[in-house]
Structure 1
Amino acid sequence: MRRIIILWVGLAVASVALGAAAAFETRATRLQAIKTIGIVSAVGEEMSLTQAGLTGVGNTGQSASISAWGLDELIIQQATKLLSGRFRVQPVNYRRAAFAAIRDSAVAPVNLLRSDPFKELVRSDVAPQGLDAYVVITRAKSKLGNGRIVEGVGLAQYRTLLADYGLVHALYEVRVIEGKSFDVIEKRTAAPLDNTGIMRLAGPSGPLDETFEGSASNERLRAAIADLIARSLPVTLGDMHLIDRQ
């Protein structure tokens, strides 16, 4: 009986391993078949301003328009430069507000069984249709400190009884959506660049040593966010096997 159980467990483990290998091979094969792509970005029209910490301030989040910064145009420009070595990147038209309006991340484990909401948007709101794939870059979420949720591009301040900490973040996720079946071939959330600070987020972020007034028009803050995107995007696309790892 013991031998039967061991054999059954071994077969189950082997089956799972074979299934994972087959899924990886299918994903790799579908990525290799892609020749033409379009890039959609809906990350940077709005910036969040979050306060959290032990002092109980900042119970409500704030936001500010940063459309003048042109972050989505910057993301598309950088992604095009990175991806054009392997793919033929074609400009696409899309309703940025429609992609930005989806706030519930389908990358999160709690949403694994749900249909990805961006599939239908690519089918209905992106032109031209018929490219081999579409790379869709949208906001991601992370927890800050005592559980406050921060999202996308923003500035967070975490206050304790003894000190204040500032953190700038650019949280985003990337999907590769097949251009005919509209299946999600690959998806990944951008990983942290440095997770050694006192404040940590599950995505690109960095410390700031000063309090910003008029944050939406602050050039130093814009430059800090642009730097996070510029440094993290090659890593994320490399992890997705879209470019060589950098």
Structure 2
Amino acid sequence: MRSRIILALACAIASAVLGAAAAFETRATKLQAIKTLGIVSAIGEEMSLTQAGLTGLGNTAQSLSISAWGLDELIVQQATKLLSGRFRVQPVSYRRAAFAAVRDSAVAPVNLLRSDPFKELVRSDVTPQGLDAYVVITRARSKLGNGRNVEGVGLAEYRTLLADYGLIHALYEVRIIDGKALDVIEKRAAAPLDNTGTVRIAGPSGPVDETLGGAASSERLRAAVVDLITRSLPVTLGDMHLIDSQ
């Protein structure tokens, strides 16, 4: 009986390894076939203001418009510069609000069996159609402290009995969608840039000293968000094998 169990486990492990290898080979083959590429970005129209921790349990997150910051335009420009060395990047038009309206991340494990909502949006809301692939960059979500969700661009204040901590974040995820079959070739959430902060979340973030009210409209805050994006995007695209790893 024990030998049968061991044999079954060995077969299951071997099957999983072979399946992962086949999936990697298929993904690599699809990436090699891509010549023309379009870029969609929809993360930067709003900034969330979140309080969490021992004294923030009863507070709800707020948001304010930062459309004037032009973050999505900046992301498209940077991604175009990074990807143009390998692909022919073509400008595309799209309804940014339609992509931004998808709040539930399909990258999260609980959603892996669902149909990715961004595939249909590429079909219905992006022109021109028929490019080899589309890179779609949208908000990602993470847990902060006591379990409160934060997403996209935001400023969080985490309070303890002894101290307050300010955290700026720019959470996003990247998908490569096949322009013909509309399959998701690859998807990945941007990883943390470092893990040295007192308060940590699963994505690009960093400490700030300002209070929620005083920092929300400052150029210094915008510069901090831009820094998170410009440092993390090459790493994320490298992890997805779209450019040489940074």
Give the TM-score category using the shorter length: over 0.9
**Pairwise CA distance, 1:4:** 4.2
SS at match of 2:201: coil
Q: Scaled by the length of structure 2, what TM-score is found?
A: 0.97
* Greater shift in the superposed pair: 50-59 or 112-121: 50-59
2:14 matched residue in structure 1: 14
Could you tell me whether the CA contact under 8 Å between 1:50 and 1:58 is conserved in 2?
no
* Greater shift in the superposed pair: 29-38 or 9-18: 9-18
Could you tell me whether the CA contact under 8 Å between 1:105 and 1:141 is conserved in 2?
yes
Structure 2 CA distance for aligned equivalents of residues 161 and 5 of structure 1: 52
Structure 2 CA distance for aligned equivalents of residues 58 and 49 of structure 1: 14
Structure 2 CA distance for aligned equivalents of residues 44 and 70 of structure 1: 7
Could you tell me whether the CA contact under 8 Å between 1:51 and 1:58 is conserved in 2?
no
5 Å-filtered alignment, 1:183-222, equals: 183-213=183-213, 215-222=215-222
Unaligned runs of 5+ in 1: none
**Pairwise CA distance, 1:240:** 0.4
* Greater shift in the superposed pair: 229-238 or 1-10: 1-10
1:40 matched residue in structure 2: 40
**Pairwise CA distance, 1:102:** 0.3
2:156 matched residue in structure 1: 156
2:235 matched residue in structure 1: 235
Query: Do the aligned partners of residues 9 and 95 (structure 1) sit closer, same or farther apart at CA in structure 2, a change above 3 Å counting?
Result: same
**How much is the aligned-residue C-alpha RMSD, in angstroms?**
1.3
Give the number of equivalent residue pairs.
Answer: 246
Could you tell me whether the CA contact under 8 Å between 2:55 and 2:159 is conserved in 1?
yes
**Pairwise CA distance, 1:8:** 3.4
Structure 1 CA distance for aligned equivalents of residues 3 and 146 of structure 2: 49
Q: Does 1:119 align with 2:119?
A: yes
Structure 2 CA distance for aligned equivalents of residues 85 and 39 of structure 1: 15
Give CA deviations for 1:50-71 in whole Å, capped at 9, x if unaligned.
0111113661110000000000
**Pairwise CA distance, 1:138:** 0.1
SS at match of 1:198: coil
**Pairwise CA distance, 1:13:** 1.9
**Pairwise CA distance, 1:20:** 0.9
Query: Do the aligned partners of residues 58 and 231 (structure 1) sit closer, same or farther apart at CA in structure 2, a change above 3 Å counting?
Result: farther
**Pairwise CA distance, 1:10:** 2.4
Unaligned runs of 5+ in 2: none
Structure 1 CA distance for aligned equivalents of residues 90 and 26 of structure 2: 25
Q: Scaled by the length of structure 1, what TM-score is found?
A: 0.97
1:141 matched residue in structure 2: 141
